[in-house]
Chains A and B, each alone.
Chain A
Amino acid sequence: MLNFLATIGHSAISKVAGFGRASIMMFHALCVWPQPKTSIPLIIVQLYNIGVKSLLIIAVSGLFIGMVLGLQGYTILVDFGSEDSVGQMVALSLVRELAPVVTALLFAGRAGSALTAEIGLMKATEQLASLEMIGVDPLRRIIAPRLWAGFISMPVLSMIFAIVGIYGGALVSIEWLGVYSGSFWSVMQSAVDFHDDILNGVIKAVVFGLAVTWVAVYQGLESIPTSEGIAQSTTRTVVYSSLLILALDFVLTALMFGDI
Chain B
Amino acid sequence: MRTRTIEILVGLFLVGGLLAAGLLAFSVSGLSGANSATYKIYAHFDNIGGLSNKAEVTLAGVQIGQVSDIKLDPQMLLAVVEMEIFSDIDFLSSDSSVQILTSGLLGGKYIGLSVGAEEDFLIEGSVIEDSQSALVLEDLIGQFLFDKVSD
Interface centre among A81, A159, A193 (most CB of B within 10 A): A159
Contact assessment for B105 and A80 in the assembled complex, using a CB-CB cutoff below 8 Å: yes
Contact assessment for A84 and B107 in the assembled complex, using a CB-CB cutoff below 8 Å: yes
Interface centre among B24, B105, B107 (most CB of A within 10 A): B24
- Name B6-52 residues within 8 Å CB distance of A: 6-7, 9-10, 12-14, 16-17, 20-21, 23-25, 27-31, 52
Complex Cα distance, B22 from A159, in Å, reads 10
Complex Cα distance, B21 from A162, in Å, reads 9
Task: Specify which of A55, A82, A182, A190 is in contact with B54 (CB 8 Å cutoff).
Answer: A190
Q: Given A44-B10, A84-B103, A182-B63, A190 and B25 touching (CB < 8 A)?
A: no
- Interface size in chain A (residues, C-beta < 8 A): 39
For residue A97, give the distance in angstroms from its CB to the closest CB of chain B: 15
- Name A32-47 residues within 8 Å CB distance of B: 41, 44-45, 47
Report A-chain residues with C-beta under 8 Å of the C-beta of B27: 185, 189
Contact assessment for A186 and B56 in the assembled complex, using a CB-CB cutoff below 8 Å: yes
Contact assessment for A48 and B9 in the assembled complex, using a CB-CB cutoff below 8 Å: yes
Complex Cα distance, B52 from A140, in Å, reads 52
Complex Cα distance, B6 from A1, in Å, reads 59
Task: Specify which of A52, A186, A192, A194 is in contact with B13 (CB 8 Å cutoff).
Answer: A52
Report B-chain residues with C-beta under 8 Å of the C-beta of A198: 24-25, 28-29
A156 CB within 8 Å of chain B: yes
Contact assessment for B24 and A45 in the assembled complex, using a CB-CB cutoff below 8 Å: no
Contact assessment for B13 and A82 in the assembled complex, using a CB-CB cutoff below 8 Å: no
Contact assessment for A82 and B29 in the assembled complex, using a CB-CB cutoff below 8 Å: no
Q: Given A81-B104, A190-B55, A192-B28, A48 and B17 touching (CB < 8 A)?
A: no
Find the B residue at minimum CB distance from A188. B28
- Name B102-151 residues within 8 Å CB distance of A: 103-108
Beyond the given pairs A55-B13, A156-B14, 11 more chain A to chain B contacts, judged by CB atoms under 8 angstroms and listed by A's residue number, are: A41-B3, A55-B16, A84-B107, A155-B17, A162-B20, A183-B103, A189-B29, A190-B56, A192-B28, A198-B24, A198-B29
Q: Which 7 A-B pairs have the closest CB atoms?
A: A189-B30, A156-B17, A159-B20, A194-B29, A163-B20, A194-B31, A192-B29
Seen from chain A, the residues whose Cβ lies within 8 Å of a Cβ on chain B are 41, 44-45, 47-48, 51-52, 55, 80-82, 84-85, 91, 95, 152-153, 155-157, 159-160, 162-163, 166, 182-183, 185-190, 192-194, 197-198, 202
User: What are 25 A-B contacts with C-beta separation under 8 Å?
Assistant: A45-B6, A47-B10, A48-B13, A51-B10, A52-B10, A52-B12, A55-B16, A80-B105, A80-B106, A152-B14, A153-B13, A156-B14, A156-B17, A156-B20, A159-B20, A166-B28, A183-B103, A186-B63, A187-B107, A190-B52, A190-B55, A190-B56, A194-B29, A198-B25, A198-B29
